[in-house]
């Protein structure tokens, strides 16, 4: 893995979601927030295209709950979408003593997605 390949992590909420992108070397590439609407999904798609980096996997916390509609959109767009359990990101935050914010959560989700090739498919908890 290198700087031309990346994963994304998504922290979904009822009205919006935060996305962090981490490249194959573990460097944060970018971060953004979008509305949890069809228009927000379209904005996400354009934003990912503008990054000019191959997104290998997208990890979503709560893919069977608040992130379900978003996961359907991403899978339909051809992305490999995986479930990241909340306990995995909580443990990562504890180890690094990081606060809980949407941005920190999205980055922790991206890092778990990068670290584990065997995460279950989204929606298959």
Please provide the DSSP assignment of the chain as one string.
--TTEEEEEEEE-SSEEEEEEEETTS-EEEEEEEESSHHHHHHHHHHHHHT-SEEEEEEETTTTTTTHHHHHHHHHTT--EEE--HHHHHHHHHHHT----HHHHHHHHHHHHHH-TTPPBTT--
| 95-110: average pLDDT | 81
Q: Is the pLDDT of residue 110 over 80?
A: yes
pLDDT at residue 71 in the model: 95
| 11-16: average pLDDT | 96
pLDDT at residue 97 in the model: 58
What contacts 99, CB < 8 A, 6 or more positions away? 93
Q: Is the pLDDT of residue 90 over 70?
A: no
pLDDT at residue 13 in the model: 95
Task: Please classify residue 46 by burial: count the beta carbons closer than 10 Å to its beta carbon, then call 0-12 exposed, 13-18 middle and 19+ buried.
Answer: exposed
pLDDT (tens digit per residue) in 18-58: 999 999 999 999 999 999 999 999 999 999 999 989 999 99
pLDDT at residue 52 in the model: 87
pLDDT at residue 91 in the model: 62
- Percent of the chain past pLDDT 70, that is, above it, reads 87
């Amino acid at each position: 893995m290198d700087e031309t390949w990346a994963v994304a992590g998504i922290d979904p909420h009822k009205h919006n979601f935060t996305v962090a992108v981490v490249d194959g070397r573990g460097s944060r590439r970018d971060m953004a927030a979008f509305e949890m609407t069809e228009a927000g999904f379209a904005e996400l798609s354009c934003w990912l295209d503008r990054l000019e980096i191959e997104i290998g996997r997208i990890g979503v916390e709560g893919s069977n709950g608040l992130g379900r509609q978003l996961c359907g959109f991403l899978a339909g767009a051809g992305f490999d979408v995986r479930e990241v359990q909340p306990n995995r990101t909580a443990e990562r935050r504890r180890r690094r003593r990081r606060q809980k914010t949407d941005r920190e959560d999205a980055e922790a989700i991206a890092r778990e997605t990068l670290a584990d090739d065997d995460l279950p498919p989204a929606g298959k908890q």
